[in-house]
């Protein structure tokens, strides 16, 4: 029994059902509050929520959780679409994993970025959490389709690939973000990395066996049957049938018919 089922059997009752949906709704609530505030008040409110290592060390422990509620986009339309999308992803992950594993995935991300922020003062944008949720969903349901602008169907594996490409482009522009990005996706690497590596190893073994089989095949032109009368083989005519005579020699169906 692996460690995660053991933890789930002991602590599964403490899991928060629909945690992804809860986070998405709180993010939408923060957006509404920011929209009704003055620019100065909104800026101060967001600073109150962000994961500030100095303020965190002074006892403001709520920052460990509230930073994930900061919206990545302050457009109301896109925020509503994003909220519906991430809630849909959350329901899919919970149906596949269960509430406890989704909780573990999210709190594992929070722990990793908190360590990075406290030790290395790396940024911890909540966008990375939603991206890791997207990657997890696309790994579990790669062929699930969504409709871009409610018209164009696209599979989740391509949505995840596009998102990964945009993040890679961001890292190429700002190489200093490499380690924060890796840390911000550590939960995904831990959850799916071993399975990915084992699958690649299995595919390599299959390719190796296929290569050994193909290299062990007989050279081209080798035959198994040859008529002792006409000297034809199965390579000359695939429709020939061969029989063994009492003498031990083989004879094709054509020559046998002639003898008859």
CA-based radius of gyration for the chain? 31
Divide the 260 residues of the chain into consecutive groups of 10 and give the mean pLDDT of each group. Answer: 78 88 90 89 88 85 87 78 88 92 92 86 80 93 82 88 92 89 90 83 76 64 79 83 81 83
How confident is the model at residue 1, as a pLDDT? 44
How confident is the model at residue 213, as a pLDDT? 62
Query: For the residues of the chain, what is the DSSP string, one character each?
Result: --HHHHHHHHHGGG--TTHHHHHHHHHHHHHHHHHHS-HHHHHHHHHHHS--HHHHHTT-TTHHHHGGGS-S---HHHHHHHHHHHHHHHHHHHHHH-HHHHHHHHHHHHHHHHHHHHHH-----THHHHHHHHHHHHHHSTT-EEEETTTEEEEHHHHHHHHHHHHHHHHHH-GGGHHHHHHHTHHHHHHHHHHHHHHHHHHHHHHHHHHHHHHHSPPTT--S-B-TTT--BTTT-TT--EEE-TTS-EEEHHHHHHH-
How confident is the model at residue 216, as a pLDDT? 60
How confident is the model at residue 166, as a pLDDT? 92
How confident is the model at residue 133, as a pLDDT? 94
How confident is the model at residue 221, as a pLDDT? 62
- From CA 58, how far away is CA 56, in angstroms rounded? 5
How confident is the model at residue 21, as a pLDDT? 92
pTM: 0.74
How confident is the model at residue 158, as a pLDDT? 92
Q: Where are the domains of the chain?
A: 15-191, 218-260
**Residue count of the chain:** 260
């Amino acid at each position: 029994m692996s460690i995660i089922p053991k933890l789930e059997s002991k602590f599964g009752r403490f899991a928060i059902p629909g945690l992804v949906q809860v986070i998405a709704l709180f993010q939408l609530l923060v957006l509404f509050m920011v929209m009704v505030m003055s620019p100065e008040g909104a800026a101060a409110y967001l600073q109150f929520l962000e994961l500030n290592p100095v303020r965190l060390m002074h006892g403001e422990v709520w920052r460990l959780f509230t930073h994930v509620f900061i919206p990545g986009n302050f457009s109301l339309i896109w925020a509503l679409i994003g909220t519906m999308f991430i809630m849909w992803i959350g329901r899919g992950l919970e149906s596949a994993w269960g509430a406890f594993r989704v909780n573990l995935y999210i709190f594992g991300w929070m722990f990793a970025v908190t360590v990075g922020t406290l030790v290395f003062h790396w940024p911890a944008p909540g966008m990375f959490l939603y991206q890791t949720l997207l990657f997890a969903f696309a790994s579990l349901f790669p062929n699930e389709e969504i409709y871009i602008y409610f018209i164009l169907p696209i599979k989740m594996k391509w949505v995840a690939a596009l998102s990964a490409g945009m993040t890679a482009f961001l890292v190429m522009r700002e190489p200093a973000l490499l380690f924060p990005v890796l840390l911000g996706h550590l939960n995904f690497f831990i959850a799916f990395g071993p399975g990915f590596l084992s699958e690649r190893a299995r595919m390599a073994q299959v390719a190796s066996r296929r290569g050994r089989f193909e290299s062990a095949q007989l050279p081209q032109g080798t035959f198994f049957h040859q008529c002792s009368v006409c000297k034809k083989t199965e390579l000359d005519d695939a429709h020939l049938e061969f029989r063994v005579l009492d003498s031990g020699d083989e004879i094709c169906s054509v020559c046998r018919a002639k003898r008859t």
